[in-house]
Structure 1
Amino acid sequence: MGRIESVQNKQVKEWKKLLTKKGRKKQNKYLIEGLHLVEEAVRAGIEIEHILIREDKLDQYTIKVDQEPENLIIISESVSESLSDSVTEQGIFAVIAQKEEENAIHGNKPVLMLDQVQDPGNLGTLIRTADAAGFEAVIIGEGSVDLYNPKALRSAQGSHFHLPVIHSDLKKWISQFKEKSIPVYGTALDERAVSYHSVEPEQQFALIVGNEGNGVSDELLKETTANLYIPIKGQAESLNVAIAASILMFSLHQ
């Protein structure tokens, strides 16, 4: 068990860089904050590089940590504050290597695909809902917010530990699913779009949802099996992407 008290510590400076996309990409690591997320990582058997706990929280945070003693580090309040991205820092963090399991995605169960989803809260909610709906994986396309964004991680509530979540080329995956005769549904209001009520629930399909303002790109919509819309009965112009995707995920999955 180690101890770090100074924010000027070299290791602390490297961890602080994990709050930025550039820093995460360079180190190929990310930082999670909060007891719930750390417990979820431990329960999921995720390989954790370091667990950092504020000294005054040791008695409160009694988690089972299957780590070598040197991987558990006691930190000062000032170090904890410097690493926190929350309004109220919780005093417990974990440093984890980024691992994306592309080979774990086969399309045996539904797959959610995200095209240029830019709000981290939406991205995290979409991952959490895909987990709850029994989806196999989430594929994050180019132009979307980074999975490891602290706000996205808080919103996902640890669901990214439960199913593969990767950053990849959506067009490539559309082709692969269609080669396996797995239907790929876009979400749109174009001339091809049909109500989601007209689609029978299935065990295997891919669902693409898009950017908060512009929806799914035309380039991808041209490649889909069908494009779906949700009939709106009131006067609201549209639905939030996470809400719309939630309706479709639970309705379409058998």
Structure 2
Amino acid sequence: MPSLEPAIVSAANPRVKGWAKLSERKYREREGRFLIDGVHLVAEALAAGWPLEHVAYEEGLGIPPELQALADSVSGPTWIPVSPDVIARCAGTETPQPVFAVARKKEHAPDALWAGGNGGPVVALDGVQDPGNVGTIVRSAAASGAAAIVLGRGTADLYNAKTLRATMGTLFHIPVLEADLTALLPEARKRGAKVYGTSLRAAASCYDCDLAGPGTWLVFGNEGSGLSPEVENSVDQAIIIPMTGQAESLNVAMAATVLLFESQRQRKFT
């Protein structure tokens, strides 16, 4: 049976006010907590054993059926019935689902970057600003068997509500770290990593490069300006995705997906 707390009805409740503040990055960073909104994301977090403090659900509807088995089997969070006003105060959408969770940020050990894991590449993002792009890249990285993801300076916050929704819960299944890429990439190269960066000026095709090695790093830059000069200086080889049709470039999330699944193809299907 889940651990239940008394219902919270008022959106002015001090706990609710504290939860609502987690919609702002400065409070997420100060508190080390964030909100997860919706049945699917909460289910993924519970199934992955992510550290949740509370799961709040609409009192009149009860615990969503999709979460009932997890509520009965997963220990840790307390389950709190709340009013629709509380849901509306804390939700990140105009038409909120009847459940949200308060989660703790999870610090992943840097070992994920060096251990090789399943042989998949490490993905590094340099100033990728759009939350939807960041979330989609996390989703593609998890789906294609990447080892880890590094968020460099200027990259959208992983715990932004839009980023979380775009990940579709995959962030709960892959290590995601934050780091200064200008310091991290030279360290990766010292440890034997092969660092590739995407560039429209590159001559080397991604299909002619070995993206299957356990020391492979794939670096993606800002939507408008690409890799910063400092990060570009730490790349071993610039590569390009050949395009035979009429398009100037690909969206960064699309480009990352192409390269991630090309890496998977080389590792698993050749």
Query: Which residue does the alignment assign to 1:218?
Result: 229
Is 169-178 or 76-85 further displaced after alignment?
Answer: 169-178
- The residue that corresponds to 1:9 in the other structure is 13
CA distance in 2 between counterparts of 1:10 and 1:67 reads: 25
Percent of pairs with identical residues: 38
| Shift, 1:63, TM fit | 4.1
**Deviation sequence 1:32-79 (CA, Å, 0-9, x none):** 01111111111111121011111123153324222368x111100010
- Matched residues in 2 for 1:37 and 1:237: separation? 35
2:53 partner SS: strand
Taking the TM superposition and a 5 Å limit, the aligned residue runs for 1:236-247 are: 236-247=247-258
Give the 4+ runs in structure 1 shifted more than 2 A: 59-63, 65-69
AA aligned opposite 2:88 = E
Residue 109 of structure 2 corresponds to 102
Aligned to 1:64: 70
Using the size of structure 1 for normalisation, the TM-score is 0.94
Please report the RMSD computed on the Cα atoms of aligned residues, expressed in angstroms: 1.5
Q: Secondary structure of the equivalent of 1:114? A: strand
What is the rounded CA distance, in whole Å, between the counterparts of 1:47 and 1:59 in structure 2?
Answer: 19
Q: Check whether the contact 1:199–1:252 (CA below 8 A) recurs between aligned residues.
A: no
CA distance in 2, matches of 1:58, 1:239: 44
SS at structure 1 position matched to 2:212: coil
Gapped runs of 5+ residues in structure 1?
none
SS of match in other structure, 2:40: helix
Q: Find the aligned partners of 1:200 and 1:193 in 2 and give their Cα distance.
A: 15
1:202-239: per-residue Cα shift (whole Å, max 9, x none)? 13200000111111112111111101111121121110
Contact 2:51 2:76 in 1 (8 A): no
1:93-112: CA deviations, max 9, x gaps? 11111122133423313100
Question: Is the 1:193–1:226 Cα contact (8 Å) retained in structure 2?
Answer: no
1:200 and 2:201 are equivalent in the alignment: no
Contact map agreement 2:53 2:76 (CA 8 A) in 1: no
**8 Å Cα contact 1:54-1:92 kept in structure 2:** yes
Equivalent-residue separation in structure 2 for 1:248 and 1:15 (angstroms) = 38
State the SS of the aligned residue for 2:110: helix
TM-score (norm 2): 0.89
- Residue of structure 1 aligned with 2:57, choices 53, 58, 61: 53
8 A contact 1:137–1:163 mirrored in 2: yes
User: One-letter code of the match for 1:87?
Assistant: E
Equivalent residues in 2 for 1:77-96, closer than 5 Å: 77-96=84-103
Asked if structure 1 preserves the Cα contact closer than 8 Å seen for 2:134 and 2:158, the reply is yes
Q: Would the alpha carbon gap of residues 63 and 18 (structure 1) be closer, same or farther in structure 2, given more than 3 Å must change?
A: farther
2:161 counterpart (150, 164, 171): 150
Q: Is the 8 A contact 2:39 2:64 kept in 1?
A: no
Take 1:134 and 1:201, find their aligned partners in 2: how far apart are those partners?
13
Shift of 1:252: 2.5
* CA distances 1:7-43 after superposition (whole Å, capped 9, x unpaired): 1100000000011101111111000011111111111
1:193–1:57: structure 2 CA closer, same or farther, 3 Å change rule?
farther
Report the secondary structure of 1:8's partner residue: coil
Greater shift after overlay, 215-224 or 240-249? 215-224
Instruction: Give yes or no for the alignment of 1:74 onto 2:81.
Output: yes
Q: Residue 188 of structure 1: CA displacement?
A: 0.8
CA contact (8 A) 2:113 2:122 kept: no
Residue 130 (structure 2) pairs with residue 119 (structure 1): yes
